[in-house]
């Protein structure tokens, strides 16, 4: 069993061995999944905000014109 600690303001200290095994670094986000009286920690690999800017911005599309071409 590996033990962590909850601080005064609810901050959870994740033990170094767990951080290493999950490749967690400062600022990484973790999901807390509650199952009955247990909690599963799951690293979040990316969020929509992380993906912002990964696709180049193009000109606005005229969907009515595209729909007319298809129909």
What the chain holds in terms of domains, given with CATH numbers, is 5-70 (2.10.260)
With a cut of 90, say whether residue 55 has pLDDT above it. no
pLDDT at residue 7, rounded to an integer: 93
The pTM assigned to this predicted structure is 0.54
User: What average pLDDT does the segment 34-38 reach?
Assistant: 94
pLDDT at residue 37, rounded to an integer: 95
Q: 3-class secondary structure for the chain?
A: CCCCEECCCCCEECCHHHHHHCCCCCCCCEEEEEECCEEEEEECCCCHHHHCCCCCCCCCCCHHHHHHHHC
Question: Could you tell me which of 39, 42, 15 has the C-alpha nearest to residue 31?
Answer: 42
Angstrom CA distances, 9 to 6, 18, 42, stand at 8, 21, 21
């Amino acid at each position: 069993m590996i033990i962590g600690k909850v601080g005064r303001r609810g901050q959870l200290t994740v033990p170094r061995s767990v951080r290493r095994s999950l490749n967690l670094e400062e600022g990484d986000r973790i999901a807390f999944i509650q199952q009955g009286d247990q909690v599963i920690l799951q690293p979040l690999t990316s969020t929509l905000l992380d993906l912002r800017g990964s696709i180049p911005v193009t000109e606005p599309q005229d969907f009515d014109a595209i729909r007319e071409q298809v129909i």
